[in-house]
Amino acid sequence: MEGADNIAYTDRQYEVLASVTAAICAEYPRITTERIVGHSHIAPGRKTDPGEAFDWDRYKQMLD
C-alpha cells in the first residue's frame, strides 16, 4: 500500500488489501488475522508504516 502515516487510506486500498490478504491466507492457512502485523510492529523505531492513519479494526473486520 502507498500512503503516509497520517493520511487516511482510501476505501479502495482497504478493499484491495483485504482481497489480497484473503488470497494469501487461503494459500497459507497458518497465516491468521492474529499473525498479521505492520512494519511498525516488527521494527519499532525504524519503521512507522502503516502508521496511525491505518484503521486496523476496519481492515481486520473485512477479513472476517
pLDDT 10s digits, 1-31: 888 888 999 999 999 999 999 999 999 999 9
Domain annotation covers residue 4: no
Full domain range(s) for residue 50? 11-63
Domain annotation covers residue 43: yes
How many other CB atoms are there within 10 angstroms of residue 38's CB atom? 16
Domain annotation covers residue 31: yes
Domain annotation covers residue 48: yes
Closest by Cα among 22, 7, 20 to 55? 7
> How many domains, the chain?
1
Kindly report whether the global pTM for this prediction surpasses the value 0.95.
Answer: no
Angle between helices 56-63 and 11-27 (to 10 degrees): 50
Place of cell 519503521: 47
Domain annotation covers residue 32: yes
